[in-house]
Amino acid sequence: MTIVAVFKSRAQALDCISEFRSSGIPAQPVSNPSEARVGCGISVRFEDGFLSRARLIIQRKNYSAFAGYMRRAGGRYVSI
pLDDT in tens, 58-74: 999 999 999 999 998 88
Domain count, the chain: 1
What does the pLDDT read at residue 74?
A: 85
Burial class for 39, CB neighbours closer than 10 Å (0-12, 13-18, 19+): exposed
Q: What is the CATH number of the domain that holds 66?
A: 3.30.70
pLDDT at 41 over 90: no
Residue 38 has what pLDDT? 85
- pLDDT beyond 90 at 75: no
**Pick from 18, 34, 53, 25: which is nearest to 6 by CA?**
34
The range of the structural domain enclosing residue 46 comes to 2-74
- The answer to whether residue 80 is domain-embedded is no
Instruction: Examine the pLDDT at 53 and tell me if it is beyond 80.
Output: yes
Does 70 map to a domain? yes
Q: Return all residues near 74 (Cβ < 8 A) that are at least 6 apart.
A: none
Residue 16 domain-assigned?
A: yes
Query: What pTM was computed for the model?
Result: 0.92
* Residue 66: closest CA among 2, 13, 11: 13
Is 58 part of a structural domain of the chain? yes
